[in-house]
A and B are shown apart, each in its own frame.
Chain A
Amino acid sequence: MLVILAVSAFIAGYLTRELSGTRANGRVVRADQEMSLFYEAWNLIDNNFLGTIPASQDITYGAIRGSISALNDPYTVFIEPADRAVERERLQGTFGGIGAYLSISEETGEVILEPIPGNPAEEAGILPGDVLLSVDGQIITGEMTVPEIVDLLKGEKGTVVTLVVRHPSTGIEETISITRDDILLPSVAYRLLEEDKTVGYIQLSRFSGESGTEVGSAIQDLQSQGATRLILDLRQNGGGLRDAAIDVADHFLIDGPILFLQSQQEGERVFNASRQTQATVEPLIVLVDGGTASAAEIVAGALQDRGRATLIGSSRTFGKGSVQLVFDLSDGSSVHVTSAKWFTPNRNQIDQHGLEPNILVEITQEDIDSGRDPVLANAIQFFQENDG
């Protein structure tokens, strides 16, 4: 099941890495003398506090959050087990479900389904706009939240969930059983632009494990439909996996550096583009804004520095030039640790500065009110003016 979780401010560009036998060194905080102050405090609390003492694990998580805040680094963070599960799905791009978006109608309060083509819900007969009435016998009520309903719908691949839905066109209620499968949560949407059928438009919303492949097939499909110019829209793309960023950039670059990584632990590493390139010659514009961050900045920065793309946007990009490693811990929680800085091919450090678009486009309140997109319009115009 897919959820349109509006939430998702979640991703902050990082790389994952196997947690394989990390070494401890001498600076590690161990249960020795320094920690005695911690125990001293908690003994006093335990003996005197007027109120309920939380579970040991909650206290520990509080201590972890607190101690990590001492680093004063907004990107080194602790994630509790429940949140970690959600995060993992987002980053992998897949999970077990029925493959439909779910929303609550503002007018009627009803729960509306929108099946994703090629996924189990659609194949079982769920139609766009169907109203969800019950899940495995449990009636959907107005009090339930989207995440609660999603929890009912999600489940292991291969298991069956039975829904009662009402088709809005006919008013007929129908019981439909759906076998759950791994659902691909697409990070890419693409199309030929109405305004100019030679322009292929690819919107990438985040960098998940599938993004490289998805962008690759999007380019291929657009090329076969006749696209000779491309727009890659990275606005409001908050980042994701570093390797996905490299894969995406690699579709547009032949050889040469995409980024440099520098860390105290490992010194400098360079990540290069390969020779296989999907879009070598098509003029390329990358759309950015203040929400273009992290992995998205890696792609935009590489394409800009290498002269492969023109950046058009309404503001500088977010400016996150650090890289986090994500470690899964034994209790299901995880920790993101800032472990490196990255630099663009021209060795610019973008932290806090962001990338400056080649063309800065102003968005007026009027544009917003009337739903216009002057940045995209500017990109199309740019192609027309620089034709050939």
Chain B
Amino acid sequence: MNPSEKETSPRRRFNSSIIIFSTLGILLALGMGGVGFLAGRVTAPVPTLSATAESVIIEVTLTATDTSAVVIPESEQTSLEPAASQPTPAEEPSPEPELEPAVTPIAQTDPPTATPPPSPTPDPPAEISIPEISPLDEADLSTLYEIWELVTDQYDGQLPPTNEIIESAISGSLETLGDTYTRYVPPDVARRMREDMQGSVEGIGAFVRENDDGMFEIVRPIDGQPAALAGLKPGDILIAVDGESVLGVSFDEVILMVRGPKDTTVNLTITREGEAEPLEFSVTRTRFEVPVVEAEILPAELTGGEAIAYLHLTEFNRNAEDRLLAALDELLAQQPAGLILDLRDNPGGFLDQSVAVADAFLPEGVALFERNIRGLDEVFLTDNGDIAETIPMVVLVNAGSASASEIVAGAIQDRGRAPLVGETTFGKGSVQQIYPLSDGSELRVTIARWYTPNNKTIDGQGITPDIEVESPESLGDENDTQLLRAIEFLLNGQ
């Protein structure tokens, strides 16, 4: 966490990968009723992050509930992470022994409640005063102390534990930066995110999201995994876990409730359209890999008999490059006439993964530039000799394509490799680095912007596709007009 480390650490960008899922449950409930206050409660969102040392992320916020992040690595952890416009896997992390020991053990011994041990900071206990470099003025901070003396003295109710107060103070102070991607991640959430990023987790095997109504919706049970085997279906609404209502519980907490060590059982209560009564499911958790790639040769009836390969990348987690290359191997062995890379609703992930994915389709050249607060440019390159540099290709994008997805789409578009079909992308052009803090929590800081090979930033505006096609009701079926347009392009060359 000290800045000098970061600067001296050289790039090793291409062999690191970590994923981040984050479906941000940003709950920003600040309302003023006609009468009386509804005080603003500002809850820190919940992204997932990578490993040890420092990690950089780029994230994005889609809507109030959706966020994407691109994570760019430092040392080894480069990731572009989106905070998921989309599903977040609802599985519980498990200790990964092969992971950096520095982090994992803490995760295992800590109670899931996130409260760190009462004896805080193993750090330098001696100095307590404000460091000289701090932007904080002691005189201003005295107001904070003054208030907490009053509250401690006068409050009619239970005071939260000190560490919770401090965490909330940090989150609240970070909001003054006006940057949704710079945020504090409490220890338990940080732990879950680290585990997510590895691409293998312990849980029920389903993607869950917080939908527009604030309900926790099963987006997709993963084929062959416990949730699917138990009979959970897309659209099911989770209302209780082990008998405990999830009403009013944060997204992160719900994820933590659902996840757990493999071979343990969790009881889920859901409501389903068409069912009058809630349904109960008992699901035995398992360890599974989060699938990131769907690949197929499209059915002949969609393509008029032509062999067209379809490759859907759902996120840029640590396995993205490997799974993508393996899928390409299989698909290209069937000698398709063209390839469709689907990045729709892909919220991003790690930066190095995005570079590796772009490289699979691009010859030698620039993938992106990154520029930080000190004005330093860093260039990320692609090289020759990859598997899919010449096959005719189309990339599908939509407003859920964020962050790492935009890096890939931007590079492919700028370098004229293939047309983009769909709608304007999300527009997240910043990079976050992840700093582990002394109590096991993490600080994600926006440290840089990235630019496409033509030196454009897409921040706040997104990438406009070459061929605009409005989003269909559902993706991947015969009414998927964006997919049909992509096929048409590959068949007709226009």
Contact = CB atoms under 8 A, between A and B. Distances in A.
A64 interface: yes
Given A12-B36, A31-B145, A66-B169, A339 B438 contact: no
A260 B383 CA distance: 78
B148 A67 contact: yes
Interface string A42-62: 111111111101101111111
Given A12-B37, A49-B446, A239-B36, A71 B159 contact: yes
Specify which of A13, A63, A69, A322 lies most central, judged by the most chain B CB atoms within 10 Å of its CB.
A63
A337 B151 contact: yes
Interface residues of A, number: 85
Given A58-B176, A64-B172, A239 B146 contact: no
B155 A9 contact: no
Given A66-B170, A340-B156, A22 B149 contact: yes
A137 B339 CA distance: 71
B128 A65 contact: no
A67 B129 CA distance: 19
Interface in A326-355: 327, 329-331, 333, 335, 337-341
Nearest to A22: B153
A335 B435 CA distance: 33
Given A35-B128, A42-B134, A74-B39, A63 B164 contact: no
A40 B438 contact: yes
A39 B1 CA distance: 13
B279 interface: no
Contacts of A44: 1, 3, 435, 443, 445
A39 B162 contact: no
Interface in A157-189: none
Interface string A233-251: 0001011000000000000
A13 B443 contact: no
Contact of B174 (A9, A45, A75, A236): A45
Contact of B35 (A45, A236, A339): A236
B434 to A, nearest CB: 10
Contact of A24 (B121, B149, B164): B149
A338 B373 contact: no
Contacts of A77: 37, 39
B152 A27 contact: yes
A34 B152 contact: no
Contacts of A37: 120-121, 163, 166-167, 170, 437-439, 441
Contacts of A64: 143-144, 147, 169, 172
A40 B123 contact: yes
Contact of A45 (B142, B148, B177): B177
Measured as residues with beta carbon below 8 angstroms from the partner, the interface class of chain B is: 35 or more
A41 B123 CA distance: 13
B146 A67 contact: no
Contacts of A38: 166, 169-170, 173
A294 B165 CA distance: 28
Nearest to A338: B156
A29 B148 contact: yes
A18 interface: no
Interface in B423-444: 430, 433, 435, 437-439, 441, 443
Contacts of A60: 136-137, 140-141, 143-144, 173
A86 to B, nearest CB: 14
A42 B150 contact: no
Contact of B177 (A53, A56, A335): A53
A99 B372 CA distance: 55
B168 A69 contact: yes
Given A47-B3, A49-B446, A62-B172, A9 B156 contact: no
B184 interface: yes
B171 interface: yes
A82 to B, nearest CB: 15
B120 A28 contact: no
B416 interface: no
A50 B153 contact: no
A369 B144 CA distance: 49
Nearest to B3: A47
Contacts of B166: 29, 34-35, 37-38, 67
Given A60-B141, A62-B172, A67-B172, A42 B135 contact: yes
A39 B41 contact: no
Contacts of A381: none
13 contacts: A12-B35, A34-B121, A42-B173, A46-B133, A48-B373, A62-B172, A63-B141, A64-B169, A66-B169, A67-B148, A293-B35, A327-B154, A339-B154
Pairs of residues from A and B, 6 with the lowest C-beta to C-beta distance, nearest first:
A66-B172, A238-B35, A56-B137, A67-B169, A70-B168, A63-B173
Interface of B: 1, 3, 6, 32-42, 120-121, 123-125, 128-131, 133-137, 140-157, 159-160, 162-179, 182, 184, 372-373, 430, 433, 435, 437-439, 441, 443, 445-449
Given A39-B131, A45-B177, A51-B178, 6 more contacts: A28-B145, A50-B430, A73-B157, A76-B155, A333-B143, A337-B155
